[in-house]
Amino acid sequence: MITAANLFGLCAAALIGLGLFGLITNPHPLRKILAFNIIGSGVFLLFGVIAYRGAGAGMAADPVPQALLITGIVVAFSATALAVALLLRLHDETGSASLSAEATDTESRAEQDTPSS
Amino acid sequence: MTELGSLALVLAVLLPFLGVLAGLVLGGRNVRAVALITILAGLAVVVSSAFSFVQSAQPLTYLLGAWAPPLGIALRADGLSVAMMLAVAVVVAGIAAYAWSDFAPPADGVEKRAPFMYWLLLLAVWGSLNLVFLSGDLFTLYVALELLTFSGVPLVCLDGRGETLRSALRYLLFALAGSLLYLLGAVLLYGAYGTLDIALLAGLVRPGPIAWTAAALMTVGLLAKTALFPLHIWLPPAHAGAPAAGSAILSALVIKGSWFLVVRLWFDVMPGVVTLSSAQLLAAMGALAILVGSIVALRQQRLKLLVAYSTVAQIGYLFLMFPLAFDASGAILINGAALDAGVLQASAHATAKAGMFMAAGLIYASLGHDRIADLAGVARAMPITVLAFAVAGLALMGVVPSGAYLAKKLLLDAAGESGQWWWTVVLQGGAAFTAGYMVLVLVSVFRRPSVPVVLLKRASRLSEAAALSLAVCSLLLALAALGPVPGDLISNPLAPKELLSTLAVVVGGGLLAFGLSRRSLSAVAAADDGYVRRIMGPAGAVFERMDEFARRWTSASVLLLSLAGLFTWLMIKGVAG
């Protein structure tokens, strides 16, 4: 039966699924950061639904998850800010914004081969 | 419960963060002094809370704002958290002594970013870890875990080179994926039981689809943050690229935070929900970590990468205790000897690995490189550093009376009692691998150099002393820990039986190093590649391929999700069967 809670729950699941797909398949770090935020939104929506349902506490609408949610959003925001800052620095330093392991490997091999003084 | 004792819990979390704020305000010229004062005060607080825990002989609790759970938040200290807090405080003090001259305030008055940030991040890591050890509810633990990641990631790219920035970003993104899985699990638990307080939840939680899913998601998310094989995508480049004082923090301390959370989750929140078969999977991942991590370590050409891969292997040890901690019927996890062994192992590894990374860092700084092939003559040029490295290696191998030895002994007993002989094999074989990469490095540093070793700069005495004393701490840990464990566990290190087993381990390790390392060990072996190397060389390459595959982003994240599925399935099946 489609109730409001079920509908929002399904939306949350869909968001988490979309985000996970993006996190795995997109090679670009900025898109990974966006995907992380989409998963985050899904989890927060799920938490909202749980608050709306009254959770296990048996209240009509549970205020505790909302307080936790706000903290969660702050944490996710700081994580995003840190990741974007790192990405910008990476681009400034190397001129590319790629995470690819091959690039890292050749770089470290090159460093191994040239004797540094 | 004494008032003073529980106040110490708040201070243990608060002091490091106050130090961070004070350092931020007072600036780069004073930050080192602020860190010193904070660390001394923090040590006193941790020791005093340990004392009041021992006196009261029951867990200490502090209710924030005097609000009781489920609405309020509690800080709790049980034996587990007090032991870990003590170990971490000792390691933090050691690391600070090591970094004292490396990250000195600038002499010319111009503030530099790296030394300033280093001290702030060290304090932040310490505060977050204390919060991880003390939090009494799953959401505060989530916040603590994120704080730990946020303070750990910048340590990786302290020098700001492009390569390290890339490793830092990889670390951050993978860790974030892990923490979202953890948060999702916590949200599901709240939805089902209406509380996240550990003590309340432990009484409410029942095996069922929601509890299983939550347990699997949270466990896998935490494993991604701990970098247990095959989820170690970020660890080797991050730990090898960071400055040595940073690697020591990352390798000795940061990964212990998420490991501790797995322990809390399995032992305190849902000991009856997780099943023996899922614990076997956890330990199997640990065994694989030991195997692949050690073999890839043997094939490294740079010392810091070797130490980083040995961390991958050592993380495996921390998970071997899970299947050994079940009661006789295999239905429920119990706080017993196996858990003691796990905590002991974590402390032993924290001290030894910090010492090892410090020694590697000193060698790197003095020579300007850390190519293992070109380390000849270092033993004569830097005897104390090499001694620290060797002692740390002996401690990791589990030579009497190191903490790792006592832990191994406890786990072997548990394995014998529960008839799980296969973990006996892993525990004994793992030491040989550790001996292998120790032999590899030591043979290299003791070789006679063709040209005299030129040191770019002399290592500071304080740094060398810090590395050596942490390594010695780990080697003598069993003696310190003897209080709570029966005394007949320690045998005389010079007894023929112990000497023989140590000798067997070292010889086995030497053979492994000889067969698997990329280049011939010494002039004797250099003559030509014997059949041993011809067989074992390609085998080693296969393990390197495995490691490379697991460290690709796509395979790592697919592995992450499949492991979550596998854990859920094993928990469902374990109950049905």
Residue A55 has pLDDT above 60, yes or no: no
Over residues B106-115, the pLDDT tens digits come to 777 677 788 8
Distance in angstroms (rounded) separating the CA atoms of residues A22 and A41: 14
Query: Residue B272 has what pLDDT?
Result: 81
Q: Any chain A CB within 8 A of the CB of B232? A: no
Which of B71, B176, B195 faces A36 most closely, judged by CB atoms?
B176
Contacts of B276 (CB under 8 A, 6+ apart): B323, B326, B330, B331, B574
Task: Express as a percent the part of chain B with pLDDT over 90.
Answer: 23
Query: Residue B527 has what pLDDT?
Result: 44
Query: Residue B529 has what pLDDT?
Result: 55
Query: Residue B524 has what pLDDT?
Result: 43
Task: Express as a percent the part of chain B with pLDDT over 70.
Answer: 92
Type of residue found at B113: R
Over residues A24-39, the pLDDT tens digits come to 888 888 999 999 999 9
More confident residue, B220 or B457: B220
| Residue B346 half-sphere exposure toward CB, CA atoms < 13 A | 29
- Mutate which of B176, B225, B558 to test chain A, going by most A C-beta atoms within 10 A? B176
Are B139 and A32 in contact (CB < 8 Å)?
no
From the CB of residue A3, how many other CB atoms can be counted at a distance below 10 Å? Answer: 9
Please tell me the distance in Å from B120's CA to the nearest CA on chain A: 16
Query: Residue A26 has what pLDDT?
Result: 85
More confident residue, B415 or A107: B415
Answer for the pair B58, B118: CB distance below 8 angstroms, yes or no. Answer: no
Task: Count how many residues are written for chain B.
Answer: 577
Residue B270 has pLDDT above 90, yes or no: no
In chain B, residues with a C-beta closer than 8 Å to the C-beta of A9 are: none
DSSP state of B335: S
Distance in angstroms (rounded) separating the CA atoms of residues A36 and B265: 24
Are A116 and B368 in contact (CB < 8 Å)?
yes
Q: Tokens representing B6?
A: 């529980």
Nearest CA in chain B to A94: B162
Average pLDDT over residues B293-316: 88
More confident residue, A116 or B19: B19
Number of H helices, E strands in chain A: 4, 0
Residue B10 has pLDDT above 60, yes or no: yes
Answer for the pair B142, B251: CB distance below 8 angstroms, yes or no. Answer: no
Q: Any chain A CB within 8 A of the CB of B150? A: yes
Please tell me the distance in Å from B232's CA to the nearest CA on chain A: 13
What's the start-to-end Cα distance of chain A, in Å?
A: 71
Distance in angstroms (rounded) separating the CA atoms of residues B29 and B120: 13
In chain A, residues with a C-beta closer than 8 Å to the C-beta of B193 are: 56
Instruction: Report residue B241's pLDDT band, with 50, 70 and 90 as the boundaries.
Output: confident
Answer for the pair B25, B65: CB distance below 8 angstroms, yes or no. Answer: no
Please tell me the distance in Å from A2's CA to the nearest CA on chain B: 19
Please, what is the angle between helix B162-193 and helix A4-25, to 10°?
160
Which DSSP string corresponds to A52-88?
Answer: HHTTTTT-SS-SHHHHHHHHHHHHHHHHHHHHHHHHH
Q: Which of B249, B278, B250 is nearest to B266 (CA)?
A: B278
More confident residue, B77 or B540: B77
Residue B102 has pLDDT above 80, yes or no: yes
More confident residue, B441 or B401: B441
Q: Tokens representing B525?
A: 């072996």
Query: Residue B237 has what pLDDT?
Result: 86
The Cα-based distances of B233 to B12, B37, B192, B238, B367 in angstroms read: 32, 37, 33, 10, 29
Q: Any chain A CB within 8 A of the CB of B301? A: yes
> Could you report the predicted ipTM of this complex, rounded to two decimals?
0.85
Over residues B108-159, the pLDDT tens digits come to 767 778 888 899 999 999 999 999 999 988 999 999 999 999 999 999 988 8
In chain A, residues with a C-beta closer than 8 Å to the C-beta of B143 are: 71, 75
From the CB of residue B107, how many other CB atoms can be counted at a distance below 10 Å? Answer: 6
Nearest CA in chain A to B550: A101
DSSP H stretches of helix in B485-552: 496-516, 523-526, 531-550
pLDDT, chain B, mean: 84
Query: Residue B495 has what pLDDT?
Result: 67
Q: Which residues pair with B135 in a beta bridge?
A: B75
Which of B71, B194, B552 faces A101 most closely, judged by CB atoms?
B552
Q: Which of B375, B384, B378 is nearest to B466 (CA)?
A: B384
- Of the listed ranges B325-329, B383-387, B422-426, B525-529, the one predicted with least confidence: B525-529
Over residues B172-213, the pLDDT tens digits come to 999 999 999 999 999 999 888 888 888 888 888 888 888 999
Are B553 and A101 in contact (CB < 8 Å)?
yes
Query: Residue A112 has what pLDDT?
Result: 43
DSSP state of B47: H
Please tell me the distance in Å from A37's CA to the nearest CA on chain B: 10
Residue B481 has pLDDT above 70, yes or no: no
Size of interface A-B (CB pairs under 8 A): 128
Coil vs helix vs strand at B30: coil
CA–centroid distance for B322 within its chain: 16
What part of B 530-549 touches A (C-beta under 8 Å)? Answer: 548
Nearest CA in chain A to B204: A56
Nearest CA in chain B to A59: B194
Give the CATH fold of the A8-105 domain.
Helix Hairpins (1.10.287)
Question: Position of tokens 């390569």?
Answer: B163
Are A16 and B557 in contact (CB < 8 Å)?
no
Answer for the pair B296, B309: CB distance below 8 angstroms, yes or no. Answer: yes
Query: Residue A11 has what pLDDT?
Result: 92
Full-model pTM: 0.89
Which of B161, B163, B180 faces A40 most closely, judged by CB atoms?
B180
Answer for the pair B379, B300: CB distance below 8 angstroms, yes or no. Answer: no
Which of A33, A39, A55 faces B190 most closely, judged by CB atoms?
A55
Answer for the pair B395, B469: CB distance below 8 angstroms, yes or no. Answer: no
Please tell me the distance in Å from A4's CA to the nearest CA on chain B: 16
Are B554 and A25 in contact (CB < 8 Å)?
yes
Over residues A69-112, the pLDDT tens digits come to 999 999 999 999 999 999 999 888 887 777 764 444 444 444 44
Answer for the pair B326, B418: CB distance below 8 angstroms, yes or no. Answer: yes
The Cα-based distances of B34 to B15, B96, B162, B247 in angstroms read: 11, 12, 31, 22
More confident residue, B463 or B519: B463
Residue B330 has pLDDT above 80, yes or no: no
Q: Which of B123, B69, B437 is nearest to B253 (CA)?
A: B123
Are B139 and A71 in contact (CB < 8 Å)?
yes
B89-98, B498-507, B535-544: which has the highest mean pLDDT? B89-98
In chain A, residues with a C-beta closer than 8 Å to the C-beta of B184 are: 16, 43, 46
Q: Any chain A CB within 8 A of the CB of B194? A: yes
In chain B, residues with a C-beta closer than 8 Å to the C-beta of A78 are: 146, 150
More confident residue, B379 or B21: B21
Type of residue found at B240: A
Q: Tokens representing B188?
A: 């599901």
Q: Any chain A CB within 8 A of the CB of B157? A: yes
Contacts of B104 (CB under 8 A, 6+ apart): B32, B115
Q: Any chain A CB within 8 A of the CB of B217? A: no
Query: Residue B530 has what pLDDT?
Result: 61
Query: Residue B27 has what pLDDT?
Result: 81
Query: Residue B525 has what pLDDT?
Result: 46
Which of B168, B180, B187 faces A47 most closely, judged by CB atoms?
B187
Coil vs helix vs strand at B275: coil
Are B302 and A112 in contact (CB < 8 Å)?
yes
Q: Any chain A CB within 8 A of the CB of B65? A: no
Distance in angstroms (rounded) separating the CA atoms of residues B561 and B216: 10
Answer for the pair B166, B289: CB distance below 8 angstroms, yes or no. Answer: no
- Mutate which of B156, B187, B234, B374 to test chain A, going by most A C-beta atoms within 10 A? B187
In chain B, residues with a C-beta closer than 8 Å to the C-beta of A117 are: 368
In chain A, where are the structural domains located?
A: 8-105
